[in-house]
Amino acid sequence: MGTRPPFASVWFDCDSTLSAIEGIDELMATLPEAVKRDLLELTQRAMEGAIPLAEVYETRLAKIAPTASQLAEIGDRYAQRMTKDADLVVAALQSLGKRVGVISGGLYGPVRALAHRLGIQDADVHAVPIRFDADGNYVDFDRACPLWKNGGKVTLLRSFAPSLRPLAFVGDGATDLETQGVAADLFLGFGGVAIRPVVKQRAEAWFETPSLAPVLSFVLTDEERERLARDPRFSSLLRRAYADN
pLDDT 10s digits, 62-121: 889 999 999 999 999 999 999 999 999 999 999 999 999 999 999 999 999 999 999 999
- Residue 245, pLDDT > 60, answer no
Do 138 and 61 touch, CB atoms closer than 8 A?
A: yes
Average pLDDT score over residue span 169-198: 96
pLDDT of residue 40: 80
Q: Is 140 a catalytic residue?
A: no
- Residue 234, pLDDT > 70, answer yes
Average pLDDT score over residue span 156-176: 97
Q: Pick the catalytic residue: 15, 172, 176, 185?
A: 15
Domain parsing of the chain, residue ranges? 9-243
Nearest to residue 202, comparing CAs of 217, 184, 220, 189?
189
Q: Which residue type does 53 have?
A: L
Average pLDDT score over residue span 44-50: 78
* % pLDDT > 90, the chain: 80
pLDDT of residue 48: 80
204-240 burial, b if ≥16 CB within 10 A, otherwise e? Answer: ebbbebebbbbbbbbbbeeebbeebeeeeebeebbeb
Q: Is 13 a catalytic residue?
A: yes
- Residue 129, pLDDT > 70, answer yes
* Alpha-carbon span 147 to 175, nearest angstrom: 9
Please write the tens of the pLDDT for every residue from 195-215.
Answer: 999 999 999 999 999 999 999
**What's the mean per-residue pLDDT of the chain?**
93
* Alpha-carbon span 114 to 214, nearest angstrom: 21
Residue-wise DSSP of 127-185: EE-EEE-TTS-EEEE-TT-GGGSTTHHHHHHHTS-GGG-SEEEEESSHHHHTTBTTTBS
- Residue 192, pLDDT > 60, answer yes
pLDDT of residue 56: 84
- Residue 26, pLDDT > 70, answer yes
pLDDT of residue 1: 45
**What is 9-243's CATH number?**
3.40.50.1000
For residue 233, the Cα-to-chain-centroid distance in whole angstroms is 24
* Alpha-carbon span 101 to 121, nearest angstrom: 8
Do 101 and 122 touch, CB atoms closer than 8 A?
A: no
Task: Write down the pTM of the prediction.
Answer: 0.93
Do 82 and 18 touch, CB atoms closer than 8 A?
A: yes
